[in-house]
């Protein structure tokens, strides 16, 4: 199956997302004079409605912003675990792992604080103006997409167990039909309140209602950690080199460092092999396995593990191990990601790569009553009950994340590419593949996002550790390549065309000042140019 289509082109600005309505919201802002940050904020709010199983006000959010002068900064919206969340709290209640559903799965949402900081640092339009279209759409009801219907089907039992979720998505205890209008008046009211006062999410009436609901559900929140979640600062990116360019990534608690580690291990190697050859896939896959082993063993949200992993001397040792095929790794596990993302570039060259998530589908399947806000299950996904582990649950500790986003510039800071992809622990692998497609092989954005995808399984999600190692490869990679990989010891598992997952977005800028962009054909997204 040929999935190729040409990229969208523009000289005046461009957006890309996983849903046409979200892309249209961003394009309208650019067309009316807003900048890339404004467009990103408008798209973020629309995606709460277009992909409600993937993201929401009650989730987390991260962004990398490249300014016209070449400066790059980030916002990192990831919340704390509860103040009473000691390992003993969970083990005394008979848990061997933190639950993935319900109040015990929830971490303080970071998205409202991150969006507020993004607005303060870089927007030109009032937040009320940017989010009013989403509020109106929530009131009238957006037609249910195939993806949302599928998400409800996947999580139907848990959705029906939460009265607010059930009333919107499964009032008859069955998934909605595609095209059914899903009106959410309570969410519309919350969006408007949040636009007027984002801080009220953490310290006002909403905070009181949320903490009370979580406490009633048995979660050990004090309320103080919820209030502390309001404080998000703009931070520098973490950066590394690949194929003569500079890759800017989101810092901890994201795994942006994992992309930089893989880039350092693959630089000057993968690009000298043919595109999607067995040699290139083998090196990329084994680099990813090393990175996941390091994440599991060494790296937490609040330690120096990532800095240690990126030391040049250690990277040199790992490259030699890869060359001799004697790399050491630990088997870990990966779950399917439930996340969505956007990219925007304006006429001034300002670029924003943005990603937000509830963790798993519909997060903790737990709503704050009367608000329409679904809370994440990031604590259940990212915190461990393994004694002494870098990501062992602890009071007011942020779980290590799967989300990351990137911008690529030249040495002078000129924009080359901005992109990202959802997909759980697939993200750090697929982002590396996207960067390699662009920089090593000169693919355009449409070719890069539609290229055959391969995935090292398992990664390092906390829900199950120790799964059998696999190299999952879409079957558009030729049989001969997959057979060669199997002969080298990979347990190759074929997937259908476009079945790997993810929903990549890329916008590139060439030397003529022309933008080209594309959205992943694995979802219904679209890139739109503005001239």
Half-sphere exposure of 281 (CA within 13 A, CB side): 27
| Exposed/middle/buried for residue 83 (C-beta within 10 Å: 0-12, 13-18, 19+) | middle
pLDDT of amino acid 4 = 67
- Say if residue 165's pLDDT is above 90: yes
Note the pLDDT tens digit of each residue in 458-500. 776 655 456 788 999 999 999 999 999 999 999 999 999 999 9
CA distance 217 to 31: 46
Query: pLDDT band for position 338 (50/70/90)?
Result: low
Query: pLDDT band for position 327 (50/70/90)?
Result: low
Q: Domains plus CATH for the chain?
A: 235-337+403-529 (3.60.20)
Helices (H), 327-390: 378-382
Overall average pLDDT of the 6-18 stretch: 96
pLDDT of amino acid 264 = 97
In the sheet that holds 406-409, the strands lie side by side as 8-10, 515-519, 505-509, 415-420, 406-409, 245-249, 238-242
- CB of 1 closer than 8 Å to CB of 309: no
Token code pair at residue 310: 């990126």
pLDDT of amino acid 214 = 98
- CB of 335 closer than 8 Å to CB of 359: no
Q: Which residue from 302, 430, 282, 416 is spatially nearest to 351, judged by alpha carbons?
A: 416
Query: pLDDT band for position 2 (50/70/90)?
Result: low
CA distance 443 to 179: 36
| Distant-in-sequence, close-in-space partners of 448: CB < 8 Å, separation ≥ 6 | 434, 437, 438, 504, 506, 518
Q: Rounded to whole angstroms, what are the CA distances from 242 to 155, 239, 269, 435, 474?
A: 40, 10, 11, 9, 25
Q: Which residue from 70, 44, 111 is spatially nearest to 412, judged by alpha carbons?
A: 70
Note the pLDDT tens digit of each residue in 53-101. 999 999 999 999 999 999 999 999 999 999 999 999 999 999 999 999 9
- Say if residue 329's pLDDT is above 70: no
Question: How far from the centroid of its chain's Cα atoms is residue 395's Cα?
Answer: 24
Question: Among positive and negative, which fits the CA dihedral 23, 26, 28, 33?
Answer: negative
Q: Which residue from 410, 443, 409, 435 is spatially nearest to 267, judged by alpha carbons?
A: 435
- Say if residue 330's pLDDT is above 50: no
Note the pLDDT tens digit of each residue in 245-302. 999 999 999 999 999 999 999 999 999 999 999 999 999 999 999 999 898 889 988 8
Helices (H), 60-218: 87-91, 111-122, 127-140, 146-154, 156-161, 163-169, 185-196, 200-203, 205-216
pLDDT of amino acid 424 = 85
pLDDT of amino acid 336 = 41
pTM of the model: 0.94
- Percent pLDDT > 70 in the chain is 96
94: left (phi over 0), alpha (psi -120 to 50) or beta: left
Note the pLDDT tens digit of each residue in 128-140. 999 999 999 999 9
Overall average pLDDT of the 174-180 stretch: 95
């Amino acid at each position: 199956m040929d999935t190729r289509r040409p990229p969208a082109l523009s000289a005046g600005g461009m957006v890309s997302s996983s849903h046409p309505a979200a892309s249209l919201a961003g394009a309208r802002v650019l067309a009316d004079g807003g900048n890339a940050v404004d467009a990103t904020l408008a798209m973020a709010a629309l995606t709460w409605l277009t992909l409600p199983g993937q993201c929401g006000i009650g989730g987390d959010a991260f962004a990398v912003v490249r300014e016209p002068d070449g400066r790059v900064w980030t916002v990192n919206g990831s919340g704390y675990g509860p103040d009473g969340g000691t390992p003993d709290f969970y083990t005394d209640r008979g848990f061997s792992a933190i639950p993935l559903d319900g109040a015990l799965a929830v971490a303080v949402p970071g998205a409202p604080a991150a969006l507020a900081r993004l607005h303060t640092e870089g927007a030109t339009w009032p937040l009320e103006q940017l989010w009013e279209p989403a509020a109106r759409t929530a009131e009238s009801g957006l037609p249910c997409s195939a993806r949302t219907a599928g998400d409800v089907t996947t999580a139907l039992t848990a959705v029906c167990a939460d009265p607010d979720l059930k009333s919107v998505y499964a009032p008859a205890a069955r998934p909605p039909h595609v095209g059914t209008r899903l009106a959410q008046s309570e969410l519309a009211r919350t969006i408007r309140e949040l636009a007027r006062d984002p801080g009220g999410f953490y310290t006002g009436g909403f905070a009181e209602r949320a903490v009370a609901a979580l406490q009633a559900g048995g979660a050990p929140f004090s309320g103080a950690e919820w209030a502390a979640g309001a404080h998000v600062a703009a931070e520098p990116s973490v950066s590394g080199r690949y194929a003569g360019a500079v890759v800017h990534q989101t810092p901890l608690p994201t795994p942006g460092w994992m992309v930089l580690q893989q880039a350092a291990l693959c630089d000057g190697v993968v690009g000298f092999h043919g595109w999607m050859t067995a040699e290139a896939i083998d090196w990329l896959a084994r680099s990813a396995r090393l990175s996941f082993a390091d994440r599991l063993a060494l790296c937490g949200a609040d330690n120096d593990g990532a800095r240690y992993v990126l030391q040049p001397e250690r990277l040199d040792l790992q490259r030699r191990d890869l060359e001799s095929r004697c790399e050491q790794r630990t088997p870990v596990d990966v779950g399917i990601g439930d996340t969505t993302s956007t990219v925007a570039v304006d006429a001034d060259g300002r670029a924003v790569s943005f990603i937000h998530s509830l963790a798993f589908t519909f997060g903790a399947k737990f709503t704050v009553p009367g608000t329409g806000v679904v809370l994440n299950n990031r604590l259940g996904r990212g915190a461990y009950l393994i004694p002494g582990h870098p990501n062992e649950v602890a009071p007011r500790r942020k779980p290590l994340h799967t989300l990351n986003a990137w911008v690529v510039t030249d040495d002078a800071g000129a924009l080359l590419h901005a992109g990202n992809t959802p997909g759980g622990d697939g993200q750090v692998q697929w982002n590396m593949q996207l960067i390699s497609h662009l920089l090593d092989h000169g693919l355009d954005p449409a070719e890069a996002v539609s290229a055959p995808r391969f995935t090292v399984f398992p990664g390092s999600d906390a829900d199950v550790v120790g799964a059998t190692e696999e190299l999952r490869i879409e079957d558009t990679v030729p049989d001969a390549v997959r057979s060669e990989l199997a002969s080298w010891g990979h347990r190759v598992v074929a997937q259908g065309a476009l079945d790997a997952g993810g929903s990549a977005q890329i916008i590139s800028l060439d030397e003529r000042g022309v933008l080209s962009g594309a959205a992943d054909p694995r979802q219904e997204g679209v890139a739109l140019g503005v001239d």
